[in-house]
Amino acid sequence: MPRRLRSRSCGAVVLVLATAFAAAVPAVAREYMTAEFLTKAPRPMTVAVLPPHAEFIKAKAVMTAEMVSEAAALEDEGARAITAMLESKGYKVRLVTPADFETTRGLRELVTSLNGRYNEEWGKILQDKTEVRYGRYGTGEEAVKLASLLHVDGLVVARVVAVGNTGGRQALTLILSLGGAYAQSYARMGLGVLDGRTGRVEGYFEGMRNCTTGSLVKKPAKVMTDLAENTLNDYLAASEVKKPRKSQLEAQAKDDEPEPAPDEAAISDFEAILKQKGSAPTAAGIAAAPPAEPAAPSEPAAPTEPAASSDPTPPTPSPSPAP
């Protein structure tokens, strides 16, 4: 079985997003969490760490190269470092390993499907990470099915980008910048937490670790341990609760508002139509108006008298017979 669980198309998508991620992520660690995650209402407490996806780009003087085997080492060490960091914060963690794909039926297909779906959402997250706080991103049924299969209530997915600048690239950067810039090698991580009941992205964390190209190649465990600690430094401990922002509470209250009853909605639509015609009764008037009483049955009509003649001249009496 290949170590990197992805298709060629999926790998191409990840590489494109990784390039954008490398340019977009700030040097400091950042975190974005929903109100439910902050207040444990609910927060995934039993999570499965899926194998991360890593891209290792070696930047030479005039070109770049993708380091496949070195990226696989970063994936393995990154998964172990994330697991250890979450366990230290009091969470129950299951690390999904290559052996699980052989023993758990359907796991490979679900993980591949989820990774493809998450890559779509990851591209949106990179454009506006603050929307994570309002629960605007999710992976739907893929996460729900996978969490059910693994018997967890949350999933952890990570994307790692490592850039190793060679001596030639560093020298070229110095020359082009007239000595004002230095090409620093680094590794960056973006980690998402998915709710296994809804598939929604409940938290997104990102961090960066400056290093050397040699350490990325020869000391991946050290680099990934430091990177995981930097990325998950603000990940709340299992017993910790934090107050959400006011805007988050307002958005949550708006989402929790019940929809109007069907009758009220019909009255509102009826009023809107009548307002367009210029005569709109109030909803209260419509609701309070008594039902129309049925008309009383009509009595049978009396026989009519023959109509009097309209001629004013009286009738002439006929002459009596002679004796």
Q: C-alpha 7: how far from its chain's center?
A: 24
pLDDT recorded at residue 7: 44
Residue 229 — pLDDT band, cuts 50, 70, 90?
Answer: very high
Tell me how far apart the alpha carbons of residues 127 and 3 are, in angstroms, rounded to a whole number.
30
Tell me how far apart the alpha carbons of residues 135 and 210 are, in angstroms, rounded to a whole number.
31
CB of 35 closer than 8 Å to CB of 244: yes
Q: In this structure, is residue 93 part of a structural domain? A: yes
Q: In this structure, is residue 268 part of a structural domain? A: no
pLDDT recorded at residue 21: 72
**Average pLDDT value over all residues in the chain:** 80
H or E stretch covering 75: helix 68-88
Q: In this structure, is residue 256 part of a structural domain? A: no
Judged by average pLDDT, the poorest of 47-56, 167-176, 186-195 is 167-176
Residue 250 — pLDDT band, cuts 50, 70, 90?
Answer: confident
Number of domains composing the chain = 1
Percent helix, percent strand, percent coil in the chain, to nearest 5: 45, 20, 35
**How does pLDDT run across 2-51, given as a tens digit for each residue?**
455 654 445 556 666 666 677 665 666 789 999 999 999 999 999 999 99
CB atoms within 10 A of CB 274: 13
**How does pLDDT run across 79-121, given as a tens digit for each residue?**
999 999 999 999 999 999 999 999 999 999 999 999 999 999 9
Q: In this structure, is residue 14 part of a structural domain? A: yes
Q: In this structure, is residue 116 part of a structural domain? A: yes
For the entire predicted model, the pTM comes to: 0.71
Q: In this structure, is residue 317 part of a structural domain? A: no
**How does pLDDT run across 143-175, given as a tens digit for each residue?**
999 999 999 999 999 999 998 876 665 555 555
> Which structural domain, as residue segments, surrounds residue 16?
8-237
H or E stretch covering 185: strand 185-195
Q: In this structure, is residue 297 part of a structural domain? A: no
User: Which has the higher per-residue pLDDT, 303 or 236?
Assistant: 236
Q: In this structure, is residue 242 part of a structural domain? A: no
CB of 25 closer than 8 Å to CB of 122: no
pLDDT recorded at residue 8: 42
